[in-house]
Amino acid sequence: MKHSSFARFALLFWAAVLLVVPAFRASAADLRLADVFDDHMVLQRNQPVKVWGWAGANEAVTVSFAGKSQSTTAAADGRWMLELPPMPANANGRALTASSGSAQSAIQDVLVGDVWLLGGQSNMQMPLWWRHDGMEKLEGTRLSLHTDHDWLRIMTVPQLANREPQEGFPKDGTGPNGEVYGRWFVSQAKHPAISTFSSLGYYIGVKLHEQVGVPIGLVDTSWGGTLASLWCSREQLEHTPEAADVLAEWDRKVAEWTPEKAQQQYQADLADWEKRVQAAQAAKAPRMPKKPELGIDPRLEKYHPAGCFNAMILPIRHLTISGAMFFQGENNVFDQTRIFETTFRGVVDTWRDAFGRQDLPFCIFQIAGWGGKYKEFGENKIVHIQEAQKKVHLSRQHTGFVVTADHTHKDIHPLRKKPLAERAVRWALAEVYGRKNVTWGDPTVTATERKDGKLLLRFQTPGGEKLTIHPVPTGFALSADGKSAVPEAQAANGAIPLADVPTGFVIAGKDRKFVPARAEVIDATTVAVWAESVPEPVAVRYGWSPRGFFTLHTESGLPAGPFRTDDWDFLTDILEQEAKARAAKLRKRAAEAKARAEGK
């Protein structure tokens, strides 16, 4: 995903500002609260709350809130931090005031409740106006809400990257669709800051409030098109051997870049573009080549490793929060696929280090697949990412896991956010709020056994729930005559007779050739899988396709995500084929450029 012209302008402007933020803050003599503190914010309940900012060197600072005060002394560089004692939830807006000598800085209408951090890429960023929680786009309006919620407060952190760690971010930035960055807002139905806020985040906030009844604060740090390595710290990546080549490549870009070289390259690209336009016009091509853009300082590039972490997470790292919700991985299907698992695990570890809590609750949203047609089986990089996310979840305690694969769509973005929010809230209620008898997660295979030509899969299910196989897969609906399944979105497939609806399971023998399989729940948590053409099965896969069939659920409706019982390598072949295709494409482009240069 590349920057639009508007986005690139905004990126250049705000990133230039950010380059001087640390130095400006460090030398400031005036009293300031950190940028995340603003009117209408929510402070975390029942935990010590950190408040920080800048003042004159060695000056005394006092923070007052809710009738209580705490004091500290600013360091030589002007930085100060203190903690307010734990407070119960309170939905009445009150003022928080910092004072130092005669200087004072105050924010108004501050609530106390639960603060949640949102992160990831476009499936977390996807705004409320984009698609109403269903199948259709809203025509004629970008506002999809009709209710004000004074208890819901939201902030969107500016989407920026920086090679250097940042202490703050610009406030009052705006985006092309009405986004407002760096400020807290009350959830008012007709306010553009709400309609442009994360749809998934909004529904998480609403569902949480329905259950816990306290003010909810949401801080959105998501940015569409990002990679896992962008959300790790540089230190974390340096301790990740798999990321060495990525770091070396960007270090080289930074070392070689100068404004003069960038301008020279731009002029060369522009001249080549003009020739390609002439050729396209002569050939009456339906599309014209895209005009090149002036390259920006690689220190500020969106895809700089650790860049998003430095500019979007570090400035809020002292914020006291309940936990984090993270939906990312789609872009790693296209880039850095091989190192995704280690860098994604690094995100969990990095954020926990940054917020000073090794047990920070961290909910992982497994990506969904996408594509035009439903398929029972297909080796692809999407399932590799999905499998890696599950591995990270299983390797890190206090992480949640939300399956989204059963809500696949021809587009990369699952349309329905409410069901996904409900699954995330189930995890939060059980693991963060300590609610008993609330189940979450997905069934996980713990053992396999071959018996009478079938493979028996034994599952550990959430809360020991019973398994069920639905005759109509998620994403399908029963036809009016009750005899077939019809895709809800009416995509490429037509109606499928119920007797022929795939189970989502495929099975293989030693030849590693997978074929569609039948499946049956034979006791509460055991599934038998078989195919007559595979008398001696050795492996089963489920949902193993960019857009698969999902029929296996727990009795409370929690779906099983994609899984397999084998460990056969399939990624290497895919990556080698892609590398050959890229090399051929580069050779073709080089030949075309040479021909244009020679005037042929």
CATH number, domain at 66? 3.40.50.1110
With a CB cutoff of 8 Å and minimum separation 6, the contacts of 583 are none
Tally of CB atoms within 10 A around 359: 9
Is 438 a member of any domain?
no
Is 252 a member of any domain?
no
552 and 581 together in one domain: no
193 and 335 together in one domain: yes
pLDDT at 372: 74
State the Cα–Cα distance between residues 496 and 478, nearest whole angstrom. Answer: 10
16 and 138 together in one domain: yes
Q: Which of 408, 432, 456 is the last residue of a domain?
A: 432
- pLDDT tens column, 48-70: 999 999 999 999 999 999 999 99
pLDDT at 502: 87
379 and 418 together in one domain: yes
551: its two tokens? 């029929």
pLDDT > 70? residue 298? yes
State the Cα–Cα distance between residues 134 and 25, nearest whole angstrom. Answer: 45
Report strand pairing: 362-365 vs 323-327.
parallel
Are 311 and 182 in contact by the 8 Å Cβ rule? The answer is no
Is 50 a member of any domain?
yes
* Residue-range definition of the domain harbouring residue 282: 258-296
pLDDT > 80? residue 162? yes
pLDDT > 60? residue 207? yes
DSSP type of residue 408: -
Angle at which helices 259-282 and 571-597 cross, to 10°: 80
- pLDDT tens column, 117-153: 999 999 999 988 775 444 344 443 334 467 889 999 9
Are 237 and 229 in contact by the 8 Å Cβ rule? The answer is yes
- Residue 456's closest CA among 517, 551, 520, 513? 520
- pLDDT tens column, 516-542: 999 999 999 999 999 999 999 999 999
More confident residue, 319 or 473: 319
DSSP type of residue 547: T
pLDDT at 205: 97
State the Cα–Cα distance between residues 248 and 245, nearest whole angstrom. Answer: 5
Three-state secondary structure string covering 267-316: HHHHHHHHHHHHHHHHCCCCCCCCCCCCCCCHHHCCCCCCHHHHHHHHHH
Q: Which pairs with CB-CB distance under 8 Å and at least 24 residues apart come from 211-215?
A: 211/425, 211/429, 211/433, 211/435, 212/114, 212/429, 212/433, 214/45, 214/89, 214/91, 214/113, 214/114, 214/151, 215/42, 215/89, 215/90, 215/91, 215/111, 215/112, 215/113, 215/114, 215/151, 215/152, 215/153
Is 251 a member of any domain?
no
**Unique residue bearing structure tokens 């009844």:** 213
pLDDT at 9: 42
Per DSSP, the three-state class of 484 is: strand
544 and 501 together in one domain: yes
Starting at the earlier edge strand, list the strands of the sheet with 563-564: 515-516, 505-508, 539-542, 563-564
Is 475 a member of any domain?
yes
158: its two tokens? 């500016």
286 and 223 together in one domain: no
Report strand pairing: 42-44 vs 32-33.
unpaired
Q: Which of 432, 455, 478 is the last residue of a domain?
A: 432
pLDDT at 7: 46
Q: Which of 380, 407, 432 is the last residue of a domain?
A: 432
406 and 427 together in one domain: yes
- Cα dihedral 545, 551, 552, 556 sign: positive
- pLDDT tens column, 454-506: 999 999 999 999 999 988 887 788 777 777 778 775 544 567 787 778 889 99
Which H or E element spans position 22? helix 5-27
pLDDT at 131: 57
Is 171 a member of any domain?
yes
With a CB cutoff of 8 Å and minimum separation 6, the contacts of 128 are 143, 144, 145, 194, 195, 196, 197, 198, 199, 202
- Residue 383's closest CA among 394, 368, 373, 372? 368
353 and 391 together in one domain: yes
**In whole numbers, what is the pLDDT of the chain averaged over residues?**
89
**Unique residue bearing structure tokens 């010590």:** 48
pLDDT at 73: 98
State the Cα–Cα distance between residues 142 and 193, nearest whole angstrom. Answer: 11
Tally of CB atoms within 10 A around 187: 23
What value does the mean pLDDT take over residues 256-282? 92
413 and 356 together in one domain: yes
428 and 527 together in one domain: no
Burial class (CB in 10 A: 0-12, 13-18, 19+), 370: middle
State the Cα–Cα distance between residues 191 and 204, nearest whole angstrom. Answer: 19
pLDDT at 280: 87
480 and 334 together in one domain: no
Three-state secondary structure string covering 36-75: CCCCCCEEECCCCEEEEEECCCCCEEEEEECCEEEEEECC
Is 253 a member of any domain?
no
Q: Which of 31-40, 484-493, 586-595 has the lowest mean pLDDT?
A: 484-493
- Residue 352's closest CA among 119, 599, 587, 100? 119
Q: For the chain, what is the domain count? A: 4
Q: Which of 214-218, 356-360, 370-374, 514-518 has the lowest mean pLDDT?
A: 370-374
pLDDT at 559: 96
384 and 460 together in one domain: no
Is 439 a member of any domain?
no
178: its two tokens? 């009405």
pLDDT > 80? residue 569? yes
Please list the residues that pair with 528 across neighbouring strands. Answer: 456, 520
Are 550 and 560 in contact by the 8 Å Cβ rule? The answer is yes
Length of the chain: 600
